[in-house]
């Protein structure tokens, strides 16, 4: 096995390659700004094309390829997963929710376009994501994606996150928030990629286990970076978790134990992949990247 | 042919019957308030179970039955269409959009639960609608529904509606807003019902024509009622269109011409139905109800 740093470098190369591919697809499937309602289409493009790691499209692509998927359905799902991620960020940033002014180094949607347009840009991205998923012809994948985004997934995690702001919380609650708010959509990206490729139920279970582990690790690393990085490094307000009294791993168990937990989750994710007979190199590399990333 | 008043009475009986059926289904498919996040589930139920005509579920049911549909897929679609309608109302009522305090005689979602919960209750209903549509196994119906809800449908109409507030607009713009903001989802309800029943493409085209006609008529009647009714009669703020400088039929062509147009659209919808060979009595009655309704 290679060193974790080498693995991470492999993942970064992969993510760079997929970013270029994914951004071309976003441009292809986002409505043009010349179509009515122009300003809303502009707002959708603004947030979708503001950069970012494109982790979710990469997870869709990697899993689809790993399970031998063929055809263009993967493209719809790559775009849909990033649209759903962007929709959740636009709404989370709203003044009535997290009230954030910056995201990926740029003013947030409501700062740039006003609140009404931001609410509707989020709605429109969510709806367009399901339209694209409809084009895959795989209704079961749509059901799975929607469930992991629902009040039993991402939206549920976000709601409890807000309700816990400024309150003393235990580790169980932080786990609930992180598994729902972050891990659910990462799990969804992997599962949708696997389903579109026609993976077996057994393999899908394994990929979900991997997803839950790297999803939680991803959010713990996010929590750590919010403390140890500057706003410039992050492209969003650093230190905002503490300021808002957010429930985070470091706030409950401290920085060192948070780092240990991330490492344990990394190992758990790798062990899960051992259950697969296909080539899992890309997913191993992505797991390494997730716990070593600095932004 | 029966008088339009008799037709309307038949439709009211049908809508009452379907309301009872639909509300039992809402209760069945909405998450229980005892599940986390409880407050969000409470907000979803509050808006979904606040009454209303249940026109969209009735259109799904009527079309499904008319084309000889069998099985429980229709239930998922009836619930999904009302969830999408409710999601759009919750977000439209937000302070940053239409800023309405009352809906169906009760405080709007953000008045009752706060803005953050209202934004997320809308999001959650939209997502749950697609989860239920996923259960139908009909990915093409999901694509159609999402498209009619997108920036080329309902959301697009709502955006242009906001942009035109307080401006002088022409009839073409009012038609654009009404066809998108209102007719699109009515068309979607009919088309989804027909698709789930396995109707032919030719019959689906006819049902869409009917839908566009009654959809526009529905919104014109809404505009008229906003002027001639009291807040108590409507269950929402009467006169609010004029107050907000909304683009409406009466504001552009006056009340009399608006009434004439609604009548013409009714006749257009009935002519469309003449192209079908099945029993269209329920849809004829609903068209009559739409132009004679007083709330």
pLDDT digits (tens, 9 = 90+) for A158-175: 999 999 998 999 999 999
Which is higher by pLDDT, B241 or B238? Answer: B241
Indicate the range of A204-208, A227-231, B45-49, B128-132 predicted with least confidence: A227-231
Residues of A in contact with B36 (CB under 8 A): 156, 160, 176
Residue appearing with tokens 């709203």: A94
Q: How far is A47 from chain B (nearest CA, A)?
A: 16
Residue B107 backbone dihedrals phi, psi, to 5 degrees: -55, 145
User: What percent of chain A stands above pLDDT 90?
Assistant: 89
CB contact under 8 A, A139 and B144: no
Q: How far is B293 from chain A (nearest CA, A)?
A: 30
Residues of B in contact with A123 (CB under 8 A): 87, 91, 122-123, 126, 155
Other beta carbons within 10 Å of B6: 12
pLDDT digits (tens, 9 = 90+) for A76-124: 999 999 999 999 999 999 999 999 999 988 999 999 999 999 999 999 9
Residue B155 corresponds to which tokens in the numbers above? 């959301």
E-only strand ranges, A115-274: none
Average of per-residue pLDDT across A30-51: 97
User: What percent of chain A stands above pLDDT 70?
Assistant: 99
Which one of B139, B172, B196, B244 makes the best mutation probe of the A interface by having the most chain A beta carbons within 10 Å? B139
- Residue A237 in this model has a pLDDT that exceeds 80: no
Tell me how long chain A is: 295
CB contact under 8 A, A130 and B128: no
CB A162 within 8 A of CB A169: no
d(C-alpha B249, C-alpha B247), whole Å: 7
Per-residue H/E/C for A84-135: HHHHHHHHHHCCCCCCCCEECCEECHHHHHCHHHHHHHHHHHHHHHHHHHHH
Residues of B in contact with A134 (CB under 8 A): 139-144, 146
Predicted local distance difference test score (pLDDT) of residue A247: 87
Predicted local distance difference test score (pLDDT) of residue B245: 86
CB A162 within 8 A of CB A204: no
pLDDT digits (tens, 9 = 90+) for B173-216: 999 999 999 999 999 999 999 999 999 999 999 999 999 999 99
Is residue B1 very low, low, confident or very high in pLDDT (cuts 50, 70, 90)? Answer: low
Mean pLDDT of chain A: 95
CB contact under 8 A, B126 and A123: yes
3-state helix, strand, coil in chain A (%, to 5): 75, 0, 25
Q: Which residue of B has its CA nearest to A144?
A: B131
Tell me which residue in A94, A124, A162 faces B150 most closely, judged by beta carbons.
A124
Q: How far is A118 from chain B (nearest CA, A)?
A: 10
d(C-alpha B287, C-alpha B215), whole Å: 9
Q: Complex ipTM, two decimals?
A: 0.96
Predicted local distance difference test score (pLDDT) of residue A1: 55
Is residue B291 very low, low, confident or very high in pLDDT (cuts 50, 70, 90)? Answer: very high
pLDDT digits (tens, 9 = 90+) for A177-229: 999 999 999 999 999 999 999 999 999 999 999 999 999 999 999 999 999 88
Residues of B in contact with A87 (CB under 8 A): 123
Size of interface A-B (CB pairs under 8 A): 156
| Alpha helical stretches, state H, chain B | 4-29, 38-48, 55-66, 73-93, 109-113, 115-135, 139-149, 154-163, 171-178, 184-196, 201-228, 231-234, 240-244, 249-253, 255-273, 281-292
CB A154 within 8 A of CB A186: no
- Residue B128 in this model has a pLDDT that exceeds 60: yes
Predicted local distance difference test score (pLDDT) of residue A242: 83
CB contact under 8 A, B163 and A37: yes
pLDDT digits (tens, 9 = 90+) for B8-43: 999 999 999 999 999 999 999 999 999 999 999 999
Q: Which helix (H) or strand (E) holds B107?
A: strand B106-107
- Residue A65 in this model has a pLDDT that exceeds 90: yes
Residues of B in contact with A115 (CB under 8 A): 96
Q: How far is B180 from chain A (nearest CA, A)?
A: 11
Predicted local distance difference test score (pLDDT) of residue B230: 75
Mean pLDDT of chain B: 95
Residues of B in contact with A41 (CB under 8 A): 151
d(C-alpha B225, C-alpha B231), whole Å: 10
CATH topology of domain B4-292: Farnesyl Diphosphate Synthase (1.10.600)
CB contact under 8 A, B120 and A158: yes
Is residue B283 very low, low, confident or very high in pLDDT (cuts 50, 70, 90)? Answer: very high
Tell me which residue in B131, B138, B156 faces A146 most closely, judged by beta carbons.
B131
């Amino acid at each position: 096995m290679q060193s974790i740093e080498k693995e991470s470098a492999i993942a970064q190369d992969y993510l760079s390659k997929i970013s270029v591919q994914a951004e071309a697809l976003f441009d292809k499937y986002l409505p043009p700004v010349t179509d009515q309602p122009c300003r809303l289409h502009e707002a959708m493009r603004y947030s979708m094309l503001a950069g970012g790691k494109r982790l979710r499209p990469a997870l869709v692509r990697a899993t689809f390829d790993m399970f031998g998927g063929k055809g263009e359905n993967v493209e719809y799902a790559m775009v849909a997963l990033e649209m759903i991620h962007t929709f959740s960020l636009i709404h989370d940033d709203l003044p009535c929710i997290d009230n954030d002014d910056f995201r990926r180094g740029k003013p947030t949607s409501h700062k740039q376009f006003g609140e009404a347009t931001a609410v509707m840009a989020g709605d429109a991205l969510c709806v367009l994501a399901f339209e694209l998923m409809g084009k895959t012809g795989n209704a079961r994948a749509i059901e799975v994606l929607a469930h992991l985004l629902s009040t039993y997934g991402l939206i549920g995690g976000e709601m409890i996150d807000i309700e816990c702001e400024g309150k003393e919380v235990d580790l169980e609650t932080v786990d609930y928030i992180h598994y729902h708010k972050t891990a659910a959509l990462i799990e969804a990206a992997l599962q949708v990629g696997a389903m579109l490729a026609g993976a077996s139920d057994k393999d899908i279970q394994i990929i979900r286990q991997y997803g839950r582990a790297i999803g939680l690790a991803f959010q713990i690393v996010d929590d750590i970076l919010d403390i140890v990085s500057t706003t410039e490094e992050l492209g969003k307000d650093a230190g905002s978790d503490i300021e808002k009294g957010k429930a985070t791993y470091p706030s409950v168990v401290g920085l060192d134990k948070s780092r240990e937990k991330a490492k344990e989750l990394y190992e758990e994710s790798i062990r899960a992949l051992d259950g697969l007979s296909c080539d899992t190199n890309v997913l191993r590399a992505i797991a390494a990247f997730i716990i070593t990333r600095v932004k």
